[in-house]
Structure 1
Amino acid sequence: MIRTANVLTTPAERPSPAQDRAQMIGVGTAVSPDSYSQQEVLDTFAIDDARIRSLFLNSAIQRRHLTLPPIDADGKRVMESQGELLDKHKAQAVDMGGRALTACLKDAGAELSDLRHLCCVTSTGFLTPGLSALLIRELGIDRGCSRSDIVGMGCNAGLNALNVAAGWSVAHPGELAVVLCAEACSAAYVFDSTMRTAVVNSLFGDGAAALALVAGPREDALSAPRGPRILSFESTLITDALDAMRYDWDDAAGKFSFFLDPDIPYVVGAHAEEVVDRLLGKSGLRRSDVRHWLVHSGGKKVIDAVTVNLGLTRHDVRHTTGVLRDYGNVSSASFLFSYERLLEELVTKTGDYGVLMTMGPGSTIETALIQW
């Protein structure tokens, strides 16, 4: 069990600055059951437009997990209504989210009964009550568990949620918080013959990821290795590109349709230096002091633009490109898929700095500085 720290009354008993920081102590991921290559998706929907095929096949994505529409008596995919897509979102978010949360707690050496705050992120459907309430009921989590839901902030929202949960952890030392990003991107597709929808349809996949946090002392029962502490956050809102990534209502399709401006990679790249240097400057650091970069797998052009503008190497973004290759863009969960892969390498050392970076609607860049 995790206990709440005793009230500290003297300077000698107060925690060090490091103990005042939230610490990342466990991570877990999950995906929907079925995966498809880009060619298989093209074949499934009989897409023969050369421009759209090129978009799919030159995306740097090999496979994605997707929950495709059902098949009718003629073997064709049935286009789903907005209501059916919302039902799909709910079912997938609860399923993937529950599995990611369970894996995360196991990695942290914790139990469901230890969980005191659950912060859920979804961008691919709307739920009221939110995903946090549904998971508390589904998994039998203590009904006294505090919760928050972040909806509609898009691919950057994982770091917005981490900021919220890290603050909660510091205010409740010794108690366990979890950030859970569950994105059923299959529930946010419109299928037509336009390049607008093709850009989105070629990119996103289903996935969920959870991250466990605690600040202050922990009991020995939590035997998972201590991960990095979260030092600070910085963000920037690019107001000139407010409409570059957005949901619009499509009257013809009778559902919401996501729009991505073709210039968004260059917009994000052009503003990456500003926010990262502001983040590092607060701690007296330079980019060369950062050993680990965990950048959102937003798409090949986005990754290339950020890499060039920040002066990163292919090795620096190896997990970003690897997640894009194997899962596509899993929206707000993407950076945690990369973080899990970094931990699996066993290359981090005490004192190493890392930068987490996500991008999404707004247009927004969110960053966090961590240290092992």
Structure 2
Amino acid sequence: MSVGTAVTDQSYSQQELLDIFDITDPKVRSVFLNSAIERRFLTVPPRDADGAVLPEVQGELLAKHKRLALDMGARAIRTCLENAGIDLADIDYLCCTTTTGFLTPGLSAHLIRDMGILPRTSRVDVVGMGCNAGLNALNATSSWAMANPGKVAVMLCAEACSAAYVIDGTMRTAVVNSLFGDGAAAIALIADPPDAAYGGPSDVPPEPGGPRILGFASHLITDAIGAMRYDWDDEQGKFSFYLDPEVPYVVGANAEQVVDRLLAGAGLRRSDIAHWLVHSGGKKVIDAVRVNLRLTRHDVRHTTGVLRDYGNLSSGSFLFSYERLLQERVTKAGDYGVLMTMGPGSTIETALVQW
């Protein structure tokens, strides 16, 4: 039905972040300045009287995650509902996904209370699945919508990446620190009753006129289960995210089989796809996917644009790209689109949609 996004208050250029954290190592600086990222929204740690960044213990990071995720999440949901012309009281199901912090009860319960969403609302929280989680959650949310025709389901991706940083000067953390940003995105879904007037892939749905989800396909790269992961850092006393340098090549090498399986189920080929919305995982990841799927730079323009303006927003990145596609107003009735996310597992998730 609609999409809505939100970010935190302050954005920084990569050079500004290098200055704030007083990073002088030439190799680390090169990682930041050659990331294809111009600005990111982040909530940097507090600083002392001399401007030096103060360390944040894990408890403070968890509190930051809760504060930022709830604020961004609420704003993204409100924008999503406004764009659809519906009210908070219309929400029947709320699915929240995040990887940048842990809460019990989860984000969904806090949002229902804080926003005044009806307490009867069904909910689920998807925690710890990483950058691919948006499509995992969309699969579950769309399944609920299909099982409950006419009811509104809302999915929220809320990632406070500012609450998941370790600053220790190593190249391991430098790659992560150069990449991620804060952001939240919400999407609203509704399923028509079984006796709706359309049903075949070539039919055009009635209002609200958004794309229909036709199917999903997943691929778990079991040999690379440790390529993207959270580890506990005893020295730092907090969680530390790890990205294997081989991730772009692992993802790229497996992209074709899962996309072709997704399309084969609908009798389609890659040339039938008008719109590609790929997770903004990083410059090398995007290039690897683009080359292996034989996509043009125009095909991934929103993916690279979101990376440039926001960095990697983890699970919600693909919805920021989707929002930009809608703002272009270039989609036509009958157009097919592929959504693609990649993350820990290592996992590639895909969805096929049609306008």
Indicate whether 1:213 and 2:189 are aligned.
yes
CA contact (8 A) 1:26 1:224 kept: no
- What's the CA shift string for 1:217-241, capped at 9, x where partnerless? 69xxxx9842100000000000000
Q: Aligned equivalents of 1:283 and 1:364: distance in 2?
A: 22
Indicate whether 1:331 and 2:314 are aligned.
yes
Correspondence 1:160-179 to 2 at 5 A: 160-179=136-155
Indicate whether 1:348 and 2:331 are aligned.
yes
- What's the CA shift string for 1:281-323, capped at 9, x where partnerless? 0000000000000000000000000000000000000000000
CA contact (8 A) 1:109 1:224 kept: no
Indicate whether 1:314 and 2:297 are aligned.
yes
TM-score, with length taken from structure 2: 0.96
Q: Runs of 4+ in structure 1 displaced over 6 angstroms? A: none
> Structure 1 pair 337/105, CA: closer, same or farther in 2 (3 Å)?
same
Q: How many angstroms does 1:74 deviate by?
A: 2.5
Structure 1, unmatched stretches of 5+, are 1-24
Q: Aligned equivalents of 2:261 and 2:207: distance in 1?
A: 32
Q: Aligned equivalents of 1:160 and 1:196: distance in 2?
A: 27
Indicate whether 1:45 and 2:21 are aligned.
yes
CA contact (8 A) 1:107 1:224 kept: no
Alignment match, 1:65: 41
Q: How many angstroms does 1:349 deviate by?
A: 0.3
Alignment match, 2:59: 83
Q: 1:250 aligns with which of 209, 220, 233?
A: 233
TM-score, with length taken from structure 1: 0.91
Q: Aligned equivalents of 1:351 and 1:52: distance in 2?
A: 46
Q: Aligned equivalents of 1:316 and 1:262: distance in 2?
A: 25
- What's the CA shift string for 1:151-200, capped at 9, x where partnerless? 00000000000000000000110000001000000000000110000000
Structure 2, unmatched stretches of 5+, are 197-205
Correspondence 1:134-283 to 2 at 5 A: 134-216=110-192, 225-283=208-266
Q: How many angstroms does 1:76 deviate by?
A: 1.1
- What's the CA shift string for 1:88-132, capped at 9, x where partnerless? 000000000000000000111110000000000010000100000
Q: Aligned equivalents of 1:85 and 1:285: distance in 2?
A: 45
Q: How many angstroms does 1:72 deviate by?
A: 1.5
Indicate whether 1:296 and 2:272 are aligned.
no
Alignment match, 1:7: none
Q: How many angstroms does 1:52 deviate by?
A: 0.5
Alignment match, 2:202: none
Q: Aligned equivalents of 2:208 and 2:286: distance in 1?
A: 30
**Corresponding letter in the other structure for 2:184:** A
Q: Aligned equivalents of 1:195 and 1:107: distance in 2?
A: 42
